[in-house]
Structure 1
């Protein structure tokens, strides 16, 4: 049954890419153009470091799938693309493997195809410590993702209905494993208050996983026969809103995922404080509809264009993107005003950095 659900998820996620409104709240983020800010392309490095983790690029392939023959083939191709482009990659939820070891190869193929790459194993917040270790061992994982998905579980016909133990279980897992733990939402966003709670229990990074990309409320509603939950389709905060809400919280880096459509969204995320940026839906669509070679080409192009935009902005590293001036408009501006976020400071950061340097 889990394997069938994973196949449904892939099919419905790809369907969401068709006929979908291309706009999201990243469009409310605009860079102030400084015509003399540009630097030499040779001075730009895409390397990023956060929470004790070192990546060659700030782009990573975020959690998608696994648990059936078809999704195993997708994981193989994702691993090959990660290997060829040097990006980190996460498996989808290992719940299927933890319930049935016969599907282990649909996940293990990622390590077989990408033996030296950075691979994240993905589990849910109800996983026992022993099973968390099993997931890590299966992949020889470099980091562990724990996903938060209360809205998905609520809409899912066979989903969980008890969430009160999640926080303490994250704390137990984080204390028990010897690799970094990254906690991520699946498309409904992490608030500042949630990220502060995660910092208290020693999580290495928080992936805000905001609204704007693959919508698992819609996916799970599409699997229901009765009790329509479409009123939850717009639940949560956008990725841009989450990044602004977190406001560079000390001692816990944030990652961005959810609604990443192109390299400009990657740079916007970095400018709003993300240490790295995960993409899934657009990459899955490319793989399923055009094949593995097209996926490698898309990731390679995105990385080249990312470096090009950083060159224009004068950002030598991903971290320096957070010194760029950004204007916030539209619905995103209303969110910031309600949450007390300093919009003037965001629009004048370059001057602040220049004054500090002098």
Structure 2
């Protein structure tokens, strides 16, 4: 099957099927803020802005990596990038593997004509990156005028995907090479599996400073590939549909390791964003909801969703007496339920 057809399959399944975690959640529901009944803050003072990769964001939100490589993806990327520009958010494209194999598809990833100044992330899988020179990868970044590149990890997905690449050797060596040789920042990005403390320590040892935890509880790419598969592969996809570290747990796994962290994986509202920031994230990534909002209601629906996210975050900040994200990161939290069990089992400190 051609890569364009596979990309279109992914897009259609994301829009039409139930592709999120089934029995596993992000565990953000096990986190409680301490309400401040007398916050002494004017809502007009509450500023959710931040700097990430030297660019100012009006809110700590990246519209996440999802699509590219098809005409429909081109329209979606331009629309979501223009929304990011209007509201001061960041934006990332889906995997540029299709573009590397067919350079004519570059235009499906290019968004600078509608969003000249936004924080913009390129994207490539670790298996492809292993077999491509640093110069070629830098060219992929430069050809779409991106500010940085996410190298994504999707081991479980590749094991289920009919066309999957199941050679995962030399991954750390590849990341170290790229981190040392690329002219742009490199982000190591999970895609639903989450990052453990053990992996985090190894990434730190090779000089990685930027990670996107991509935890479990949101879109299941194993599930998407299960829906595309037949026979034993489909059965295995069903079995491993919810594989991964829940997003909140993954944030705790990496806490105090010194990473600049993007929290993604099942973040759906402003309260989720607030909890992720309080657990140590610098910004958050949200993908599937934006795709669905655009497909169902166009730009007006996308803008309404952004408004919902930002207002929810600012409300959480005011209700805890926080004027900015630095103060939010200093909030004390109550950890309960499965997340508390996870932290105790893993001998991790409670936030």
Q: TM range, normalised to the smaller chain?
A: over 0.9
C-alpha deviation, 1:51, in angstroms: 5.9
C-alpha deviation, 1:233, in angstroms: 1.1
1:173 corresponds to: 178
Aligned 8 A contact 1:57 1:86 in 2: yes
C-alpha deviation, 1:158, in angstroms: 0.8
Q: What does 1:1-358 correspond to in 2, within 5 Å?
A: 1-14=2-15, 15-16=17-18, 24-50=26-52, 54-108=56-110, 110-126=111-127, 127=129, 128=132, 129-227=134-232, 228-229=235-236, 230-250=238-258, 252-343=259-350, 346=351
The SS at the match of 1:282 is helix
C-alpha RMSD over aligned residues = 1.9
Aligned 8 A contact 2:279 2:329 in 1: yes
TM-score of the two chains, using structure 2 as the length reference = 0.92
How many residue pairs get aligned? The number is 342
Distance 1:61 1:238 in 2: 20
Residues 44-79 of structure 1: CA deviation (Å, up to 9, x unaligned): 222223565543321111101100111111111111
C-alpha deviation, 1:305, in angstroms: 2.5
Aligned 8 A contact 1:84 1:296 in 2: no
The SS at the match of 2:228 is coil
C-alpha deviation, 1:40, in angstroms: 2.1
Structure-2 change in CA distance of 1:246 and 1:17 (3 Å):
same
TM-score of the two chains, using structure 1 as the length reference = 0.90
Distance 1:92 1:308 in 2: 31
C-alpha deviation, 1:182, in angstroms: 1.0
C-alpha deviation, 1:17, in angstroms: 6.2
Deviates more, 1:306-315 or 1:179-188: 306-315
Distance 1:17 1:163 in 2: 25
